[in-house]
Amino acid sequence: MTNDELESLLAPDVRQRLGIYSLPEGFRASVVIPVYNESATLHVILERVRASGVPCEMILVDDASTDDTPQILERWQNEPDIVVLRHETNRGKGAALRTGFGHVSGDIVIIQDADLEYDPSQYKTLLQPILENRADVVYGSRFLGAERSVPKFWHHTANRLITALSNLRTNLKLTDVETCYKIVRRTVLEQVAEHLRENRFGIELELTARLARLPGIRFYELPIRYTARTYAAGKKIRLRDGFHAIWCALRY
C-alpha cells in the first residue's frame, strides 16, 4: 500500500496523532510578517518559514525600523517568494498587518511575528483543520496541551481576562485570543480586512470579533509550542497595550 493510499484510509484525528499531514496540489499560503527592529532574528525566522515545508509567499511589512532591519530586508526583497513593504513612520503591528493583508494572494493567510517566539514548523499542523474543511479560522493556543513553558503570572492572568472578555462579546470559547498564530482562509479574511482599524496590538481583538460575526464561520484551536522572549530581548507589548486590549474586547 502506498503512502497516499494509507493516508486516504486514516481519519483526520488519527493522522494528526501520527504526524501525517498533507497539502493539496498547487496549494500556497501567504505568511504576513510585521517587522519592527528585528534585525537579530529576521534572517532566522525567514529561513524557518522556508523550512516549514509549506509552499508560501512571505509578505514582510517593515514598520519604520530604526535598526539594521531595512538593510537586511533589502537583501531579501528580490527573492521570488518574498514581498517587502515599508511604512515611512512607525504605526504599530495592526497597521502593518492591514498593509500586508492588502497584498496576500495565497489560499490561506498565516500571521507570523518576526521574532522567534512562534515556530513555523507547526504550520502543517495548524493548516490541517482548514484543508480538511473542518474550519475556516484556526488559532494556535499557547495555553492548550500538556507541554508548555511556564508563563509569567500577571501576563497569563491578563491574557485570560482579555480572552474571557472577548469570548463574552463573540460567544466563542477561545483560550488565547492574543496568540500571534491566526490562520484564516483568504476568502474569509477578505470579508473583514477593509473594515479593520486598530493600529497596535488591539488588532488581535478586533480581527477576532469581526471574523466571529461572519455567518457560518468555523473556529478551531490547536496547541502550539511557544518560547516567550523578555523585554530585554526586544518584547514590545506594554502595560498600556493590555488596558487598550480590554477596551477593544468590550468595543468590538
Residue-range domain boundaries for the chain: 19-251
Q: How far apart are alpha carbons 63 and 90 in whole angstroms? A: 5
69-76 vs 42-50: helix axis angle to the nearest 10?
Answer: 30
Residue in 45, 207, 169 with CA at minimum distance from that of residue 112:
45
Give the C-alpha distances (Å, rounded to integers) separating 99 from 4, 58, 158. Answer: 39, 13, 28
Write the DSSP symbol of residue 203.
Answer: H
* Tens of each residue's pLDDT in the chain, 252 residues: 455 554 554 565 555 554 557 789 999 999 999 999 999 999 999 999 999 999 999 999 999 999 999 999 999 999 999 999 999 999 999 999 999 999 999 999 999 999 999 999 999 999 999 999 999 999 999 998 756 666 677 677 888 999 999 999 999 999 999 999 999 999 999 999 999 999 999 999 999 999 999 999 999 999 999 987 555 555 556 667 778 888 888 888
> Given this model, what pLDDT does residue 240 score?
78
Instruction: Report d(CA 64, CA 166) in Å as an integer.
Output: 30
Contact present, 96 and 42 (Cβ < 8 Å): no
Orientation of helix 153-170 relative to helix 203-212, angle to 10°: 30
**Could you tell me the pTM of the whole model?**
0.88
Q: What is the pLDDT of residue 121?
A: 96
Give the pLDDT confidence score for residue 10 in this predicted structure.
Answer: 52
Instruction: Provide the pLDDT for residue 243.
Output: 84
Residue range 19-251 forms a domain whose CATH class is alpha beta
Q: How far apart, in Å, are the Cα atoms of 53 and each of 49, 110, 202?
A: 8, 14, 31
Per the listing, cell 482562509 goes with 185
